């Protein structure tokens, strides 16, 4: 098993990409703590892991709160005794044109996605530095690299995550800590459920994906597992795009 003996925290671990990553890492031997605001999706992920014979726990909280992210790390350490992996999948997407966007919509997107990533990383660093090991996988998007109308706040937050993660990688490369980002394309999750299955927009997007379809959360989880595992031991400060070929165009 690729993560035998390791302990992982997954923010946004109750649904979508975060849940799939939590399940896959647990299947590879990690003990996993999932976090998010709503207890019920977290409980579903924990149940799925424990039913499959793995070990998991949940801590509810808001990633935009320093107090909540500190508590997340302390509770994980109290229960599992160590901390090796952080996956920051918590995120929100607000697709509003700049002219129509309110200040509070902008703030919520940046606070959840960018500040939330900063706070989670800041909360795990003391443990990872003191043990001189650890790996961090942050979650961007192809919209952090390519423009799309309506994605100003979302794209800015994701571009910020990529740049932030590179700096974390540089600042801690000499301390046994790796930090990388994944940049998924369009993936079937609750975030994209807002696009009805038979809508013209969804068909248009699918027609623009060279692979011809949206990705599945499990397909993104394998990239998370790879970056989190020792197989990626010399990879740090990079962005791995998983997008069915979208960005190759
Ligand atoms: N789906 C895509 O096409 C796609 C593409 C590229 C990148 N991504 C990124 O992938 C990540 C996961 O998204 P997803 O597609 O898996 O959608 P999702 O199922 O909606 O996952 C987002 C998760 O973040 C949690 N979350 C949101 N705001 C939070 C907050 N303030 N504090 C704590 N947790 C919070 C949500 O749980 P609660 O609501 O319970 O808090 C939810 O579990 C996001 O960062 C997203 O931007 C998705």
Tell me how crowded residue 241 is: count the other CB atoms within 10 A of its CB.
19
Give the pLDDT band of residue 96 (cuts 50, 70, 90). very high
Q: For residue 144, report the phi and psi dihedrals to the nearest 5 degrees.
A: -85, -10
Residue 55 pLDDT > 90: yes
Burial readout 196-211 (b: 16 or more C-beta within 10 A, e: otherwise) = eeeeeebeebeeebee
Give the pLDDT band of residue 83 (cuts 50, 70, 90). very high
| Ligand 1 pocket mutation, candidates 16, 116, 209, criterion most atoms within 8 A of CB | 16
Per domain, the residue ranges of the chain are 7-242
Q: What is the mean pLDDT of residues 209-221?
A: 98
Residue 194 pLDDT > 90: no
Residue 192 in contact with ligand 1 by CB distance below 6 A:
yes
Q: What is the mean pLDDT of residues 179-206?
A: 93
The overall average pLDDT reported for the chain is 97
Give the pLDDT band of residue 166 (cuts 50, 70, 90). very high
> For domain 7-242, which architecture applies?
3-Layer(aba) Sandwich (3.40)
Catalytic (active-site) positions: 154
Q: What is the mean pLDDT of residues 205-222?
A: 97
- Residue 189, CA distances (Å) to 4, 33, 92 in order: 28, 20, 12
> Going along 52-195, which residue ranges are E strands?
56-60, 85-88, 134-139, 177-184
Nearest Cα residue to 74 out of 5, 129, 133, 9: 9
Residue 139 in contact with ligand 1 by CB distance below 6 A:
yes
Nearest Cα residue to 91 out of 180, 3, 151, 172: 151
Return the structure tokens found at 95.
């697709």
Ligand 1 midpoint to CA 217 (Å): 11
Residue 189 in contact with ligand 1 by CB distance below 6 A:
yes
For the stretch 116-149, pLDDT in tens is 999 999 999 999 999 999 999 999 999 999 999 9
Give the pLDDT band of residue 64 (cuts 50, 70, 90). very high
Compute the Cα dihedral for 143, 145, 149, 151 and give only its sign: positive
Nearest protein Cα to ligand 1, atom 29: 90
What pLDDT shows up at residue 198? 85
What pLDDT shows up at residue 195? 87
For the stretch 223-247, pLDDT in tens is 999 999 999 999 999 999 999 999 9
Residue 196 pLDDT > 90: no
Q: What is the mean pLDDT of residues 66-76?
A: 98
Q: For residue 247, report the phi and psi dihedrals to the nearest 5 degrees.
A: -75, -10
Tell me how crowded residue 79 is: count the other CB atoms within 10 A of its CB.
13
In this structure, the dihedral spanned by the alpha carbons of residues 189, 191, 193 and 198, taken in order and rounded to 10 degrees, is: -100
Give the pLDDT band of residue 112 (cuts 50, 70, 90). very high
Q: Which atom, in ligand 1's list, is nearest to the CA of 188? A: 1
């Amino acid at each position: 098993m690729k993560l035998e003996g390791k302990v992982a925290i997954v923010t946004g671990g109750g649904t979508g990409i975060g849940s799939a990553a939590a399940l896959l890492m647990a299947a590879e031997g990690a003990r996993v703590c999932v976090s998010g605001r709503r207890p019920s999706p977290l409980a579903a992920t924990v149940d799925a892991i424990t039913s499959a014979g793995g070990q998991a726990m949940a801590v509810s909280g808001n990633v935009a709160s320093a107090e909540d992210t500190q508590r997340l790390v302390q509770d994980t350490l109290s229960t599992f005794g160590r901390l090796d992996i952080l996956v920051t999948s918590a995120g929100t997407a607000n697709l509003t044109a700049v002219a129509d966007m309110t200040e509070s919509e902008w703030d919520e997107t940046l606070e959840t996605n960018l500040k939330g990533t900063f706070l989670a990383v800041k909360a795990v660093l003391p443990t990872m530095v003191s043990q001189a090991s650890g790996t961090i996988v942050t979650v961007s998007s192809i919209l952090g690299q390519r423009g799309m109308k309506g994605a100003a706040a979302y794209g800015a937050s994701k571009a910020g995550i990529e740049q932030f993660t590179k700096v974390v990688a540089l600042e801690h490369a000499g301390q046994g800590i790796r930090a990388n980002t994944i940049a998924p394309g369009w993936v079937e999750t609750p975030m994209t459920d807002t696009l009805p299955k038979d809508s013209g927009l969804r068909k248009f997007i699918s027609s623009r994906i060279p692979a011809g379809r949206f990705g599945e959360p499990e397909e993104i989880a394998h990239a998370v597992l790879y970056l989190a595992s020792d197989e990626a031991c010399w990879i740090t400060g990079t962005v791995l795009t998983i997008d069915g070929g979208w960005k190759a165009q």
